[in-house]
Amino acid sequence: MTDLTQFKRETTEWLEANCPASMRKTQTRSEGVFGGKKFTFPSDDAKLWFDLMVDKGWTAPQWAKEYGGAGLSSDEAKILNKEMDRLGCRKPLIGHGLWMLGPALLEYGTEQQKLEHLPKIARGEIRWCQGYSEPGSGSDLASLRCKAEDKGDHYLLNGQKSWTSDGDKADWIFCLVRTNDEGRKQEGITFLLFDMETPGITVRPVPLITGESHFCDTFLDNVEVPKDQVVGDVGKGWSVAKALLVHERTMMADIEKNMPKPKFSVDDYAKNYLSTDENGRLQDGLIRDRLAQHMIRDEAIKLTQRRAFEEGMAGDFDMRVATIFKYIGTEEKTNKDTLITDILGMAGAGWDTDNFSEDEQTKTHEWMSNKALTIAGGSSEVQLNVISKRALGLPEI
């Protein structure tokens, strides 16, 4: 028996014995475990599953043990992920710390920063938010103006950040600030970490059309940040930011996998809400064509992502594909939402409990809120420019 065969057998046995039945069912966003000081577990089973996986180091399985992980090899992590998917096991912990900041710290952080922050991320002790976009500096992120003045042993921050996802629930923030106005705009940016309880920070949730408030405006008024919280070199934060965006776009490219599994498939909605002929075919030829095109694109995306994943496991991953996947993944998600809404007809405008089912209301909310996916992490228009220039090498116009 090879080591990997034994690892697979032991992993499967452990997951089957320890993952509660309720943690193998479809979950809503409110049931996700984000961790942090302000977080409340949605159930006892969620807390049990989280604690067990933290003890195994499997919330961040490939991180070194001293960083809160399990030190698994890429092949072992691949086996763990496949077995969790096969058994339907929920992710025990999710969030910006695991998906984005952690990988960036592993690449750019000092050893002190890694030891300070990574174990807390892996154990779900600290929840992180992202301080990138600003009013007027979204897709053109390098034009950001949030100022950081050098005060000797610390920086003094003043400015505003927008689109701070769950900023009102986060404990710490990773933030881009301007430490120099000279030269190219990218060269004066620094990457900072700081506690959201630091005096001078005001967070205001932004009401969305759905009635939710996942995004926040964050105001910084004379906020003091110690210099040892600079990640990478001063004025070179753009390199850290770009590396982190690759991880964000990789996460967003796989957006369907990171979101709760839907109750019905698109073709289920078509069968349930639209009329069919005597042979069981949809009578609406236009919807039938749109449905077929979506299913083809969706399968093509999944197969291409699987190929890229296999190449990555073999040490041959092309980082440019993250930008491509982010674009096609989020565009197809919004295309799917629109298709479902059109299939539902009037039921796709579900809002109140008296006239619409819970699922119909959910699909309406998703159609509205998921429009943000083509903007967050870099708008689709900007992604196409990046793809044409960096991935395909086309000349600028």
The answer to whether 227 and 153 are in contact (CB under 8 A) is yes
Burial of 326 (0-12, 13-18, 19+ CB in 10 A): buried
Residue with tokens 């592993």: 106
Domain boundaries, the chain: 3-94, 128-237, 254-391
Burial of 155 (0-12, 13-18, 19+ CB in 10 A): buried
CA–CA gap between residue 138 and residue 135 (Å, rounded): 7
Q: What is the pLDDT of residue 74?
A: 86
Q: Which superfamily does CATH assign the domain made up of 254-391 to? A: Butyryl-CoA Dehydrogenase, subunit A, domain 3 (1.20.140.10)
Three-class DSSP category at 175: strand
CA–CA gap between residue 363 and residue 349 (Å, rounded): 9
Contacts of 332 (CB under 8 A, 6+ apart): 294, 297, 298, 301
- What is the value of pTM for the model shown? 0.80
Tokens of 332: 């197809």
**Integer angstrom CA distances of residue 38 from 33, 167, 171:** 12, 12, 8
Q: What is the pLDDT of residue 247?
A: 62
Q: What is the pLDDT of residue 260?
A: 53
Instruction: Return the percentage of the chain with pLDDT > 90, whole number.
Output: 57
Average pLDDT over residues 258-286: 82
pLDDT tens-digit map of 231-260: 999 999 999 988 887 665 555 445 455 455
User: Which range has the worst mean pLDDT, 208-222, 241-255, 323-337?
Assistant: 241-255
- Supply the DSSP string of 60-78, one letter for each residue: STTS-GGGTS----HHHHH
**Between 337 and 315, residue with greater pLDDT:** 337
Contacts of 130 (CB under 8 A, 6+ apart): 96, 100, 164, 165, 173, 174, 175, 248
Angle at CA 243, nearest 5°, toward 242 and 247?
110
The answer to whether 84 and 46 are in contact (CB under 8 A) is no
Does the pLDDT of residue 80 top 60, yes or no?
yes
pLDDT tens-digit map of 17-48: 999 999 998 777 778 999 999 999 999 999 99
Residues counted in the chain: 397
pLDDT tens-digit map of 157-198: 999 999 899 999 999 999 999 999 988 888 999 999 999 999
Decide which of 2.40.110.10, 3.40.50.720, 3.40.50.10470, 3.10.180.10 is the CATH code for 128-237: 2.40.110.10
